[in-house]
Amino acid sequence: MNKLISKIFKLLPSRPVYAHCDIPCGMYDPREAQMAAATVLKMVQKLKEYPEDDLNNKVRAITIKEEHAQICKQEILILWTDYFKSEHLEKFPDLHDLIWKTAKLCSDNKRAADETKARELIESVDKIAEIFIQTKK
């Protein structure tokens, strides 16, 4: 059966397919990173609310915190690698350092449940979002 399908595909006409992905087409948005960072903070706060013996909810909150810290990192790195260009670095010379520190904050928030680090992550992501908005003007 597989051989027959393979032969049929070889008989069908083919043509090259082209796609785009690494151009600033307007699909980039820092809001997902902001929502993920806010979720990290909320889960850190929830962890404090649960009683010590409520392991189920603690584990769930930790899992969600770590997942959203990773989502935040992924979204920030997508902006860094796919959206921000050389001209943005010229206008915002601290952007590289800000992105690097934000990615590190994502990792810090995966490793621990620290409200201060979670708030720092939100502030850092908000700075990136502001730069992003300024590049759209």
Domain that holds residue 60: 29-135
Query: DSSP state, 27?
Result: -
CATH of residue 80's domain is 1.20.120.400
pLDDT digits (tens, 9 = 90+) for 67-119: 999 999 999 999 999 899 999 999 999 999 999 999 999 999 999 999 999 99
Contact between residue 45 and residue 84 where contact means Cβ atoms under 8 Å apart: no
Tell whether 6 is covered by a domain.
Answer: no
Return the structure tokens found at 96. 């590289």
Say yes or no to pLDDT of 13 above 60: yes
Tell whether 45 is covered by a domain.
Answer: yes
Tell whether 16 is covered by a domain.
Answer: no
Q: Whole-angstrom Cα distance, residue 121 to residue 24? A: 25
pLDDT digits (tens, 9 = 90+) for 101-113: 999 999 999 999 9
Tell whether 52 is covered by a domain.
Answer: yes
Q: How many domains does the chain have?
A: 1
Tell whether 17 is covered by a domain.
Answer: no
Tell whether 44 is covered by a domain.
Answer: yes
Tell whether 14 is covered by a domain.
Answer: no
Q: What is the residue whose two structure tokens read 């590049």?
A: 135
Range scoring the smallest mean pLDDT among 23-32, 43-52, 53-62, 100-109:
23-32
Tell whether 23 is covered by a domain.
Answer: no
Instruction: Work out the burial of residue 25: count CB atoms within 10 Å of its CB; fewer than 13 is exposed, 13-18 middle, 19 or more buried.
Output: exposed
Confidence (pLDDT) at 74? 96
